[in-house]
Amino acid sequence: MFTGLVEGTARLAAVSRHTGGATFTLEAPFLMDDLRVGDSVAVNGVCLTVETVGSGLFTATAVPETLRRTNLGGLQPGGRVHVERAMRADGRFGGHIVTGHIDGIGHVTDVYPDGEARVLVIRVDPSLARYMVDKGSVAVDGVSLTIMRAEKDRFSVSIIPHTQAVTRFGEIREGETVNIECDVIAKYVERLLTYRGDAGASGGIDAAFLARHGFLR
């Protein structure tokens, strides 16, 4: 599990594409103090497993399905990506619950200044837009952000100067793609409210259920 407070950007030193997907070699000396083989690291919000560590570099492989469903498939050597090690049990939980399981791709349709902030407008599929609410949380390329405005097929986020300095969002441009992970709590609530189970099940949570249990009068 991650918090969406990325630890910095790593330089993509090499990409090796093969039948099993793509292996990325990432230069991230600031992660080396306790990074171990087998650890989980979010790369642009995608949870990957560390395979090798050494000399300020680590490698991780993304399988073909991950490459198809995220922007990792378009990464090229020399590019930069957001990285975050898995959350520690004794650490602060400063962002929101981020699983590293991407729900889909967003397309940056507009970027404009708002004082010292930078506003990104991101278009998403309606299947993702339904989880977006004003002042709610979303992970964009692994970064925990607050939704400024939610619309039918897009949402806006405001990037403060500090976040611009420590992420790619200080230089991101229109036309780029970003990985989107919706709020996992919203997805669980939707599932509970709509789940019906098999034919013998009593059904999901609805108004009648809430009334029977004293939540509605």
Residue 156 lies in a domain: yes
- Per the structure, the count of domains in the chain is 3
Tell me the CATH number at 56.
2.40.30.20
Residue where a domain stops, chosen among 54, 85, 116: 85
Answer yes or no: do 110 and 184 share one domain: yes
Answer yes or no: do 178 and 138 share one domain: yes
Answer yes or no: do 137 and 212 share one domain: no
Answer yes or no: do 177 and 138 share one domain: yes
Answer yes or no: do 181 and 108 share one domain: yes
Answer yes or no: do 148 and 81 share one domain: no
pLDDT at 201: 54
Residue 3 lies in a domain: no
Residue 156: domain span? 104-188
Highest mean pLDDT among 151-160, 182-191, 193-202: 151-160
Q: Which pair of tokens denotes residue 7? A: 């630890």
> What is the residue whose two structure tokens read 């997805």?
187
Q: Which residues of 195-207 are buried (b: 16+ CB within 10 A; e: fewer)?
A: eeeeeeeeeeeee
Residue 96 lies in a domain: no
- Cβ neighbors of 31 (< 8 A, separation 6 or more) are 7, 10, 41, 58, 83, 85
Answer yes or no: do 147 and 197 share one domain: no
Residue 152 lies in a domain: yes
Distance in angstroms (rounded) separating the CA atoms of residues 106 and 124: 5
pLDDT at 204: 63
Report the half-sphere exposure of 75 (CA within 13 A, side-chain side). Answer: 35
In this predicted structure, the answer to whether residue 149 has a pLDDT above a threshold of 90 is yes
Counting residues of the chain whose pLDDT is more than 70, the rounded percentage is 95
Answer yes or no: do 128 and 108 share one domain: yes
Assign 48 to helix, strand or coil: strand
Answer yes or no: do 193 and 182 share one domain: no
Helices (H), 75-206: 126-129, 161-166, 184-194
Answer yes or no: do 165 and 203 share one domain: no
Tens digit of each residue's pLDDT (9 = 90 or more) over 45-87 = 999 999 999 999 999 999 999 999 999 999 999 999 999 999 9
Identify the helix (H) or strand (E) that includes residue 209. helix 207-212
From the CB of residue 24, how many other CB atoms can be counted at a distance below 10 Å? 23
Tens digit of each residue's pLDDT (9 = 90 or more) over 158-173 = 999 999 999 999 999 9
pLDDT at 92: 78
Answer yes or no: do 139 and 158 share one domain: yes
Answer yes or no: do 214 and 175 share one domain: no
Residue 44 lies in a domain: yes
Tens digit of each residue's pLDDT (9 = 90 or more) over 1-21 = 999 999 999 999 999 999 999
- Cβ neighbors of 212 (< 8 A, separation 6 or more) are none
- Cα dihedral 57, 60, 64, 66, rounded to 10, equals -100
